[in-house]
Amino acid sequence: MSVKYLTNRTLFQKFSTNLNKRFLATVSTTSKLEDIYDIVIVGGGIAGSALACALATSNLTKLQKRIALIESSNTSNIREWNPLQGEFSNRVSSLTPRSVQFFKDIGVWQNINEERIKPFSDMQVWDGISDARIRYNNESDKKGPLAWILENYNIQHAILKTLDKDKSIVDIFDNTKVQDITFDKDSGGGQFDLSDWPSVELSDGRKLKARLLVGADGFNSPVRSFANIESLGWDYNSHAVVATLHVDPNIENKTAWQRFLPTGPIAMLPLQNGFSSMVWSTTPNLATKIKSISSKDFACLVNAAFQMRVADLEYFYSQLGNNESVDLQSEFEWRKSVQLKNSDPKEEFPPLVLGVQEKSRAGFPLRMRNAESYIKERVVLVGDAAHTIHPLAGQGLNQGLADVHHLLQVIERGIANGQDIGDINLLRGYSSERYLSNLVMLGVVDKLHKLFGTDFTPTVLARSLGLKTLNNLEPVKAEIMKYAMGL
Amino acid sequence: MFRASSLSSQIHTRKFLLANLSRNILQSNLHRDNKNSEVIPIRTNYTSSTNSQISNLEKCTLAVSSALTAFCDPGRGDMIATLGETTGSIFINRMRDHMLRDKTGRRILQERPRIHSSTIDIPYLSSLPLGTFGKEYTNFLDGQNVTPDTRVKVQYIYDDELAYVMQRYRECHDFFHALTKLPANVEGELALKWFELAQTGMPMTLLSSIFGPLKLSSKERERLFKKYVPWALQCGSQCKFLLNVYYEEHWNKNIDEMRNELGIYLVD
């Protein structure tokens, strides 16, 4: 019997009973047929589970392939997600129209909790030193919103709900860690030579054999290290602080704001009227201080970060550790009154921050990475395992979803041609599509970060001139936004 | 800042500008003996009804003309002032940022103290014992026969906080003389201009520092560059930013102690 029979799921079921009986007598190192999978996805984050969901809904794969999804954490937290009104998780993502279309195609979008998502069509980005501003407004455009802001839990919950509709297609191993991945010399099914199939050893003792091993297991991907693929890049001397903010509820919250400070950009993304999500990339020192100050001072500091001069902010930073003898609120009000007398009244600012949600302040280090290759024989990397990016452009998750989309198309093509889907020549189609576009996006975001991270006067003047000019060139702006929206 | 104005108001501003220039050039030194006793507002009252601001081109013209006039007659403090205002916008912003980073600087920006004979009590300062900051200051004023009211008002800076910073910078000039013990002759003034260059980086100070010495004799110039300039650059760049000092609170302080605290050491 050749391996080809394994590709037909119904035949598999017929043969499995016979084969099992035959091998009962043999040594127990032989893997059981239930443990032989066509696709094993390691990592149940958004990218991994979206891939599982896409495979489960695709007509070509769902009946023919055995798919396993391995996730180390307990998915019941996500399945039982029941959020409170007026409280938002601090881990949010911005989804481009392309990602949303992908979710619609795989049937996930209908399960999203629509009350907790925020599409926005207006975006303002400005330089903290020179106040040069770029503004993009999409409201009158038929293309739809610029992006949607959702909590990550919302997305994961919707994906799991879609997967749970038909549990027979994807075998989800949750609460299971991957102990080891090896090339097991034991040739699996006896007649079948599976020695070149990666063998995934789980924490419950099972050993899965994978025709195609998908690494969707994040930054420290074990799949990537198994495949001996190096990850190239650098650590930014920055940490991102996230929080859920309570903002002025009287102002319509429909704009995404981002200000580039010399220490890093601070962004405010709308969640609902009165609630916004903040991502503030700054030095590790400041990040620690910001997370530890009182909520009242934190709210003042965020307001200052969006509205005050950089010199004022530096004064605030210097006062943060000192027993808070400075009343940040009155300092802010004084500077605001001076500013109002002398500045352009047309200049817009984000809504005033009134407070921060309890326990919503958290931080993580920022890095840039790209794997030297996305593919190996029978191994493919998607999402953060393949690349990591600075959050300033909101592209990380969207890149991962684009990876998943292309991988799906490549797998479907392989099946339609009767190919072995783990064949590296098939996988090259995925790599050639995604490697270059990811590299370009990573490069652009990295250069933006470096450009805006300095206060050297000639650079400031040059970039401010660039921003102002770009702001006035509507067609160029539209093209750039189309690229960012994935269209 | 440039405000678009209608044709008629442009004519007004041009007329005013010409009038201003001619007034400055034709009129003789008006400041050194003017003892104005009322509290002066920061800005001059414009005679023009439109009260509009000058455009960038007009600023450039003014910068060039005031530079030339100041070069020809270094006694024209008002020309130096105009040069400072028209060329110094980035640097005044920097000075304000320096003040914003310091606690005392912020207090000064908030309270906006003015130095004028109506706000500081000169007879009281004269009565202070020798060696205090107040006494040294009044000694300097008497020695040069000037009062603190001789500073030109800010005219071409339209942001009121920046106008205050410029005004404060001018008004503190005499304090710098007292602290550095430089005389008010041409040499001393030039040395102090180099000192201010190291502190603030303003182009006006740079221009004065480069073109001023051309008017000196070669011997004076040699002394200036051998002795005063190295001192000025070194002392100016390492001492505390002098606008962050609330001078009005230190009249009674011993001047040597004050110099120590600020990081100022005397020439030679």
Alpha helix segments (H runs only) across A293-395: 295-307, 310-320, 328-342
Both tokens of B81, joined, read: 């002032």
The sheet carrying A92-95 orders its strands as A92-95, A147-151, A118-120
Chain A residues in contact with B160 (beta carbon < 8 A): 341-342
Q: In angstroms, what separates the C-alpha of B190 from chain A's closest C-alpha?
A: 28
Task: State mean pLDDT over A297-309.
Answer: 93
Enumerate residues 6+ apart whose C-beta is below 8 A from A480: A470
Q: Which one of B95, B97, B108 makes the best mutation probe of the A interface by having the most chain A beta carbons within 10 Å?
A: B97
Contact B246/B207 with Cβ under 8 angstroms?
no
* Tens of pLDDT, residues A71-128: 999 998 899 999 998 899 999 999 999 999 999 999 999 999 999 999 999 999 999 9
Indicate the residue of B101, B103, B159 with minimum beta-carbon distance to A311.
B101
Q: Does A455 touch chain B if contact means CB atoms closer than 8 Å?
A: no
Task: State mean pLDDT over A53-77.
Answer: 89
Helix/strand/coil (H/E/C) assignment for every residue in B154-219 = ECCCCCHHHHHHHHHHHHCHHHHHHHHCCCCCHHHHHHHHHHHHHHHCCHHHHHHHHHHHHHCCHH
Indicate the residue of A310, A314, A342 with minimum beta-carbon distance to B161.
A342
**So what's the ipTM on this one?**
0.79
Q: How far is CA B238 from the centre of its chain?
A: 20
Chain B residues in contact with A328 (beta carbon < 8 A): none
User: Given an 8 Å threshold on Cβ–Cβ distance, is B101 in contact with A310?
Assistant: no
Q: In angstroms, what separates the C-alpha of B107 from chain A's closest C-alpha?
A: 11
Sign of the dihedral defined by the CA atoms of residues B95, B100, B105, B111, in that order: positive
E strands within A305-410? 353-356, 362-371, 375-376, 379-381, 387-388
User: Given an 8 Å threshold on Cβ–Cβ distance, is B101 in contact with A314?
Assistant: yes
Look at A55-69, A206-220, A274-288, B31-45 and tell me which has the smallest mean pLDDT: B31-45
User: Given an 8 Å threshold on Cβ–Cβ distance, is A311 in contact with B98?
Assistant: yes
User: Given an 8 Å threshold on Cβ–Cβ distance, is A331 in contact with B106?
Assistant: yes
In angstroms, rounded to a whole number, what is the distance separating the alpha carbons of residues A278 and A274?
13
Task: State mean pLDDT over A194-208.
Answer: 89
pLDDT of residue B185: 82
Distances from the Cα of A444 to the Cα of A259, A316, A432, A469, angstroms = 18, 32, 19, 19
Q: Does A330 touch chain B if contact means CB atoms closer than 8 Å?
A: no
B12 versus A474: which is more confidently predicted?
A474
In angstroms, rounded to a whole number, what is the distance separating the alpha carbons of residues B68 and A441?
53
Indicate the residue of A315, A334, A457 with minimum beta-carbon distance to B101.
A315
Task: State mean pLDDT over A249-253.
Answer: 91
In angstroms, rounded to a whole number, what is the distance separating the alpha carbons of residues A171 and A69?
6
Indicate the residue of B106, B159, B161 with minimum beta-carbon distance to A315.
B106
In angstroms, rounded to a whole number, what is the distance separating the alpha carbons of residues A303 and A333?
10
How many percent of chain A have pLDDT more than 70? 92
In angstroms, rounded to a whole number, what is the distance separating the alpha carbons of residues A231 and A168?
35
Fold of A33-230+372-484: FAD/NAD(P)-binding domain (3.50.50)
In angstroms, rounded to a whole number, what is the distance separating the alpha carbons of residues A265 and A257?
10
Look at B102-116, B174-188, B202-216 and tell me which has the smallest mean pLDDT: B202-216
Q: Which of residues 25-84 of A touch B (CB under 8 A)?
A: none
pLDDT of residue A373: 95
Task: State mean pLDDT over A344-352.
Answer: 84
Residues in chain B: 268
Task: Check residue B201 and give left, alpha or beta (phi > 0: left; psi -120 to 50: alpha).
Answer: left
Contact B195/B235 with Cβ under 8 angstroms?
yes
* Tens of pLDDT, residues A359-391: 999 999 999 999 999 999 999 999 999 999 999
Indicate the residue of B96, B98, B160 with minimum beta-carbon distance to A341.
B160
Q: With 80 as the cut, is the pLDDT of residue A249 above it? A: yes
Annotated binding residues of B for Zn(2+), written as ranges, equal 173-174, 177, 189
pLDDT of residue B21: 42
Q: Does A461 touch chain B if contact means CB atoms closer than 8 Å?
A: no
* pLDDT band, very low/low/confident/very high, at B45 (cuts 50, 70, 90): very low
Q: What are phi and psi of A433, to 5 degrees?
A: -70, -50
3-state secondary structure of A211: strand
Fold of A237-363: D-Amino Acid Oxidase; Chain A, domain 2 (3.30.9)
* Tens of pLDDT, residues A154-189: 999 999 999 999 888 899 998 999 999 988 776 555
In angstroms, rounded to a whole number, what is the distance separating the alpha carbons of residues A223 and A385?
8
Instruction: Confirm whether A33-230+372-484 and A237-363 share one CATH topology.
Output: no
* pLDDT band, very low/low/confident/very high, at B117 (cuts 50, 70, 90): confident
pTM over 0.90: no
Q: Angle A46-57/A97-105 helices, nearest 10 degrees?
A: 40
* Tens of pLDDT, residues B46-76: 344 445 677 878 888 888 888 888 777 767 7
Contact A95/A199 with Cβ under 8 angstroms?
no
Task: State mean pLDDT over A277-286.
Answer: 95
Q: In angstroms, what separates the C-alpha of A391 from chain B's closest C-alpha?
A: 30
Contact A183/A377 with Cβ under 8 angstroms?
no
Residues in chain A: 487
In angstroms, rounded to a whole number, what is the distance separating the alpha carbons of residues B62 and B68?
10
Domain ranges of chain A: 33-230+372-484, 237-363
Q: Does A334 touch chain B if contact means CB atoms closer than 8 Å?
A: yes
Residues of B with CB under 8 A from a CB of A: 90, 96-98, 100-103, 106, 110, 158-161
Task: State mean pLDDT over B92-106.
Answer: 91
In angstroms, rounded to a whole number, what is the distance separating the alpha carbons of residues A118 and A250?
17
